Amino acid sequence: MAITRVGVVGCGLMGSGIVQVTAQAGFETVVIEANDELLKRGVGRIRQTLEGLTEKGKLDAKAKDAALARLSGAVGLEHLKACDLVVEAMTENQALKNETFAKLDTICPPHAILATNTSSCNVTAIAAATKRPAQVLGLHFFNPVPLMKLVEVARTILTDDAVVKTSTEWVRALGKVPVQTKDATAFIVNRLLVPYLLDAVRVYEGGLASLEDIDQAMKLGCGYPMGPFTLLDLVGLDTAMYVAEVMFEEFREPRYAPPALLKRMVLAGHLGRKTGRGFYTYGS
């Protein structure tokens, strides 16, 4: 099956990145938000990024205009009725995702593939909420989407081989590198990354070293592109805590339990870059 028209549900941090790379890769892209204000903000962010790249000489003006011309935004899932593939990138909430996929199932054409960018929700439960479970799978992108090469292709025990193949080819057409994994909580990357990030918070809580020195140690000692606290601030402390809670619920292993400091920072609204303050402070 050929994918030509792609829908993205949600134009937040992850959704806007997915929309950007999809439109830049030549696909007609429709993005859906919950209301006009969120839509305007999300599409505005994509426009600003593309214009910034053009100003820096990294993207020619014609390619920028063509990407923007392929992109349209709307409020209401009914605008996805002509899509061959829909990628959902809403907040991590199992009930909301199940409900959204049940609606998408009634709106999208029978051949359409329905994918979720979830990092921690149960993809099998999402698939079971539709009447086309064989056409549902996880396509998990990484933050920041335009810069991160990887996409985890997560099949459930219900996903059809042909759907995995078409989705994997689409991921390659975006210029990304797919890896195959199963619908198991946290897939590959978060299964390994989250305990590392939680351990960083624990050793900091325990007074081993300063934030800056822990970050510097992991950057220069291991060659990681950023230290654990810079990365937690990028991912969002609320997102990291949510993923950890789901992993703890699933595996019941103490190493997945969110540390007290992380919980308190989330309660205090220190969520990372997006709120201007996390482990570090951003902006003026």
Among all residues, which ones are annotated catalytic? 119, 140, 152, 190
Q: How many residues does the chain have?
A: 284
Q: Which residue in the set 3, 19, 53, 114 belongs to the binding site for ligand 3HC (CB under 6 A)?
A: 53
Total residues at the site for ligand 3HC (CB under 6 A)? 19
| Residue 121, burial from CB neighbour count under 10 angstroms (0-12, 13-18, 19+) | buried
In the block, tokens 């759907």 appear at 163
Q: Which residue in the set 34, 95, 208, 226 belongs to the binding site for ligand 3HC (CB under 6 A)?
A: 226
* Choice between 49 and 275, CB closer to ligand 3HC: 49
Interacting residues with ligand 3HC between 15 and 34 (CB under 6 A):
20
- Give the binding range for ligand 3HC (CB under 6 A) out of 30-38, 49-57, 129-137, 166-174: 49-57
Contact flag: residue 100 with ligand 3HC (CB under 6 A): no
Contact flag: residue 283 with ligand 3HC (CB under 6 A): no
Q: Which residue in the set 22, 156, 166, 239 belongs to the binding site for ligand 3HC (CB under 6 A)?
A: 239
β-strand partners of 53: none
Chain CA centroid to CA 79, Å:
22
- Give the binding range for ligand 3HC (CB under 6 A) out of 106-114, 143-151, 175-183, 206-214: 143-151
* Choice between 23 and 85, CB closer to ligand 3HC: 23
Paired tokens of 212: 């800056």
Q: How far is the CB of 58 from ligand 3HC (least distance, A)?
A: 6
Contact flag: residue 12 with ligand 3HC (CB under 6 A): no
Q: Which of 88, 121, 89 is nearest to 102 (CA)?
A: 88
Distance (Å, rounded) from C-alpha 109 to C-alpha 81? Answer: 6
Distance (Å, rounded) from C-alpha 61 to C-alpha 56? Answer: 11
Binding mask 173-212 for ligand 3HC (x = CB under 6 A): -----------------x--x-------------------
* Choice between 90 and 231, CB closer to ligand 3HC: 231
- Give the binding range for ligand 3HC (CB under 6 A) out of 33-41, 106-114, 144-152, 270-278: 144-152
Kindly give the pairing relationship between strand 150-155 and strand 177-182: parallel
- Give the binding range for ligand 3HC (CB under 6 A) out of 104-112, 204-212, 231-239, 256-264: 231-239
Residues 6+ apart with CB under 8 A from 102: 129, 130
Kindly give the pairing relationship between strand 85-88 and strand 136-141: unpaired
Chain CA centroid to CA 56, Å:
26
Tell me if 86 sits within 8 A of 7, measured CB to CB: yes
**Strand order of the sheet with strand 85-88?**
71-75, 28-33, 5-9, 85-88, 113-116, 136-141, 150-155, 177-182
Contact flag: residue 57 with ligand 3HC (CB under 6 A): no
Residue by residue, DSSP assigns 139-150 as: EEE-SSTTT--E
List contacts with ligand 3HC (CB under 6 A).
20, 49, 53, 56, 58, 119, 142-144, 146-148, 190, 193, 225-226, 231, 235, 239
